[in-house]
Amino acid sequence: DLSGAQACHFFYFVQQWPGSVCDTRQSCCYPTPGKPSANFGVHGLWPNYNDGVYPSNCDPHSPLDLSKISDLLGRMQSEWPMLACPSSSGRQFWQHEWEKHGTCSESVLDQRRYFLTALDLKREVNLLGTLQAAGIQPDGGFYRFSSISNAIKAATGHTSGIQCNIGEDKNSQLYQVYLCLDSSANSFIDCPILPRSSCNSDRVAFLAF
């Protein structure tokens, strides 16, 4: 039964660093509105179970309906930019996230609330400001994994998942940050299970964008 009636245990709120999305062999394309600002962008809000399993594509009869979020599109473009090629407004990315993940928590967050919740979380957390306040700048320099992790924990009160990817120059670089929310997507919690991280302990690059 994929009706989505089965409640998830928690949500991952995942943000991506655009510099690291772009610094891979696959590269990236800027969305049609232009180069996104040098800030974290939303990747998605993902319902999950405590054992690490997650539901996906729960409702084929619930397509993305831009008319439900027309007033949010400006914020979506600046805070949830699509970096995959070919360039587009971002609609394909939002549609993918809604269909794959959003439809699995529809009983908790309808489509409008799904997008609005992610946008509001992004604003509330201010991940880049948190890191910069701790002296961790997106300047291509290297930082200890524990410095990044501790700064986020100090600001949010909770352990987060930090993922790195490998850049063209083979460095481990800050790529995505996972914060966890309770089953109603209301408050932050310690992640019941952390995603695979693959960061280097001593040398994590924080690329410029």
Choose between 68 and 153: whose C-beta lies nearer to ligand 5GP: 153
Determine whether 97 is an active site residue: yes
DSSP 8-class letter at 169: T
Q: How far is the CB of 41 from ligand 5GP (least distance, A)?
A: 7
State which of residues 44, 102, 138, 167 lies at the interface with ligand 5GP (CB under 6 A).
Answer: 44
State which of residues 24, 54, 68, 155 lies at the interface with ligand 5GP (CB under 6 A).
Answer: 54
Q: Please state, in angstroms and rounded to a whole number, the distance separating the CA atoms of residues 99 and 112.
A: 13
Q: How far is the CB of 114 from ligand 5GP (least distance, A)?
A: 14
100 binds ligand 5GP (CB under 6 A): yes
State which of residues 16, 78, 111, 160 lies at the interface with ligand 5GP (CB under 6 A).
Answer: 16
Q: How far is the CB of 52 from ligand 5GP (least distance, A)?
A: 6
DSSP 8-class letter at 196: P
Length of the chain: 209
| Location of structure tokens 């490998």 | 166
State which of residues 82, 121, 152, 181 lies at the interface with ligand 5GP (CB under 6 A).
Answer: 82
Q: At what angle do helices 111-125 and 91-100 cross, to 10 degrees?
A: 110
Q: Please state, in angstroms and rounded to a whole number, the distance separating the CA atoms of residues 102 and 44.
A: 9
116 three-class SS = helix
Choose between 29 and 208: whose C-beta lies nearer to ligand 5GP: 29
Q: How far is the CB of 101 from ligand 5GP (least distance, A)?
A: 6
Give a three-class secondary structure readout of 23-71: CCCCCCCCCCCCCCCCCCEEEEEEEECCCCCCCCCCCCCCCCCHHHCHH
Q: Please state, in angstroms and rounded to a whole number, the distance separating the CA atoms of residues 43 and 147.
A: 23
Binding to ligand 5GP, residues 111-130 (CB under 6 A): none
| Binding positions for ligand 5GP, rule: CB under 6 A | 12, 16, 21, 43-44, 46, 48, 54, 82-84, 93, 96-97, 100, 145-146, 149, 195, 197-199, 201
